[in-house]
Amino acid sequence: MKKNFWYNIGMAVILPSERTTFKARVFLALVYSALVLGAVTMVYPFAVMLSASLSSSYDYSRHSPVVIGFFDRSDRFMRAIATRFATFPREVYPDAPASWTGWPQVAKDRAGVAAFAARELAPYADADFRATHRAAARTFLRALADVPARDTVCRYDARDVARFVEAKYGTVERLNEAWPVPYRSFFDISFSAESKLPPGRVQPGEKFATWLELKSQYVTDALARGDYVSRTLPAPLADHAAEIRNALAVQFLEHGWRDFLESCAANYRLVGDYLFLRGRAFANTILLVILSVLASLTVNPLAAYALSRFRLAATERIILFLLATMAFPAAVTAIPGFLLIRDLGLLNTFAALVLPTVASGMSIFILKGFFDALPRELYEAAAIDGAGEWTVFRRITLPMTTPILAVNALNAFIHAYSSWEWAFLVCQKESHWTLAVWMYQMSQTMAHQPWCVMAGFVVVSLPTAAVFLLCQKIILRGVVLPSMK
């Protein structure tokens, strides 16, 4: 019966006669404990990032590996309130704990949140009470549609701005013609200043008019969806506290799970709009990765085969030169590399992205070591059979070094996929930017919404994880099997 591969890994350093001894078992227990600990230290940060990507301004500061709202009803209720207020609405809930000055403080008070939700939602357990107040909440929202937008307050979602403004103007060029301040992208637009103006204050200009339209659109969308409250609310809040409290409770009881799941997915919806609908970012990334991997699997094996097979007089000096290229960090070689690419006239081309990654000193060095370890009798037998060098290279050498070639391809993929500094330096045209460059731009533009940035990191990390999972058996065979011979 075929032995388990992982079992062989653990037993490779232990003689068969020693495998049942106490020391061997302790050693194996320590090895597997170290492996489990290593797995935890890798999985836990990713779980925190994944949880943060599903969070909001309310629960992002928890840095928890799980989203508590999936398991806690009171936490979902408080998060529903947080979607409609920038800070805890003291005017609406004057009887809330005094320590609740901001959403991070509220999120930390789990016991207080549970008591708050129980108090607010308990009366609605009565069916007649709930039906009566549901109708009142619907009437309250319909009445809000007749209130002028300038007399309302709105906690807008920054994720909605780009989509709303783009639907109105169509292109950035038309937007810049109408607004006094030019923008490079719809995602650069913010209504932060407009949202802080006191109700009733009006400003001239197309931007403020668009802000009023967005506030009205929130009410229209809420009515169309069958909601009971919107992000736009009448001002002052204190004068309508009872109606707002009732509307928030009814909205949660009727559509709590729907709103919660939509808020979790909203971050990824924004990431999809930002990363995959920006020109040719997705196509550029696929093309760059394919060219880089193919070039790496062509140039590096050929160079290593030549150094291993033909025993050149300068082989040691060549290897030393190749390894010396790794002695300098990328920041040191960036400027000379940029000047070289500029002098060659390759700026803003794919050649500028691919050529610097074609040859790798470390890959050539490792491949040469693998080629040197192959039995020389194989080459002698091939020569007797009349095989040429190309046939020997293609039919004998490459098939026997598949694991290290997989490692080489994986390294080329990771470098091409995740390298944004060099791409940003040599390609100033946005039409040549890859997903990594756009992800960097997103992390800068949306630094005030770190939960959206976390969603972006999760999305861009998935291809790397998928490639590694697909290649891990080949890679492990390249690491383990030579030591078991």
* pLDDT (0 to 100) of residue 483: 44
For residue 480, pLDDT beyond 60: no
- Residue 315 has a pLDDT of 78
Instruction: Give the per-residue pLDDT at 1.
Output: 41
User: Which neighbouring-strand residues pair with 232?
Assistant: 154
Mean of pLDDT over the chain: 84
What lies within 8 Å, CB to CB, of 85 at 6+ separation is 92, 155
Other CB atoms within 10 A of residue 73 CB = 14
Q: How confident is the model at residue 15 (pLDDT cuts 50, 70, 90)?
A: low
> What per-residue confidence (pLDDT) applies to 303?
87
Contacts of residue 271, Cβ cutoff 8 Å, sequence gap at least 6:
442, 452, 455, 456, 459
119 vs 110: CA distance, rounded Å: 14
Residue-level pLDDT at 482? 44
Contacts of 41 (CB under 8 A, 6+ apart): none
Give whichever of 12-21, 77-86, 432-441 has the largest mean pLDDT: 77-86
Which has more confidence, 20 or 57?
A: 57
* pLDDT at residue number 339: 87
Report, as an integer, the average pLDDT of 216-243. 91
Confidence at 12, pLDDT banded by 50, 70, 90: low
The label of the residue with tokens 């890798």 reads: 42
Q: Quote the pLDDT of residue 10.
A: 47
Pull the structure tokens for residue 231. 């992000």
Judge if pTM exceeds 0.85. no
Looking at residue 279, its pLDDT comes to 66
